[in-house]
Amino acid sequence: MKTLLRTLLSLSLIVWIGAEIFFPIVAAITFNTLRPDTHTAGSIVGQLLRILHGMGLVAGMVALAVLALAPAWGIYKPRAVLAPMVLLVVMIAATVYSQFGIIPAMERDRMAAGGAIDTADATDPTTIHFNKLHKRSELVEETVLLLGLATVVLIAWAEGRSS
């Protein structure tokens, strides 16, 4: 059972953090391939981001559940899993904020700008707000990635303490 739970924990973190690492690459390729049509590229990247968030939320809940069960199964010491669990909760909260706060607000701004933000006036308050939200979205994704890497380090540390 210990091996199964450790495998689930590792797999959930690999899926989430791996997706976070490769998402900017996919986004860059999409925008470079569809350079003349940034509206379509943005729509594709937006849909991919929604998928990434769904994967992250499921993977985060699995990892959180495994870490919560780990002390009872004798996998990790109770105090060793507290910090990774806190980081996972923050990662999940940031993902929820991005998925249900930032993305819908960006979509409202895009629609208010006539459906295509790239053709709107750059000095328009809606465009300015959209760009501000876009930067915030990037910051949230970077934060989730860094917290995910820190979680991996803390779990590796907990692994060493459980021996």
Domain that residue 130 falls in? 2-162
Cα distances (angstroms) measured from residue 153 to each of 73, 120, 157: 21, 44, 6
pLDDT at 163 over 60: no
Give the count of domains, the chain: 1
Average pLDDT over residues 93-121: 85
Mean pLDDT of the chain: 89
Residue tagged 């923050």 (tokens): 90
Res 50: pLDDT: 93
Q: What is d(CA 112, CA 117) in angstroms, rounded to the nearest whole number?
A: 9
Res 111: pLDDT: 80
Res 140: pLDDT: 96
Helices 38-69 and 78-97, interaxial angle, to 10°?
160
Residue tagged 């459980």 (tokens): 162
Residue tagged 């993902």 (tokens): 95
- Among residues 51, 53, 33, the alpha carbon closest in space to that of 41 is found at 33
**pLDDT tens per residue across span 11-65:** 999 999 999 999 989 888 887 887 777 777 778 888 899 999 999 999 999 999 9
Q: First vs last Cα of the chain: how many Å apart? A: 16
Q: What is d(CA 92, CA 134) in angstroms, rounded to the nearest whole number?
A: 19
Would you tell me how many other CB atoms lie within 10 Å of the CB of residue 160? Answer: 9
Would you tell me how many other CB atoms lie within 10 Å of the CB of residue 85? Answer: 16
Please, are residues 71 and 79 in contact by the beta-carbon 8 Å criterion?
no
Contacts of 131 (CB under 8 A, 6+ apart): none
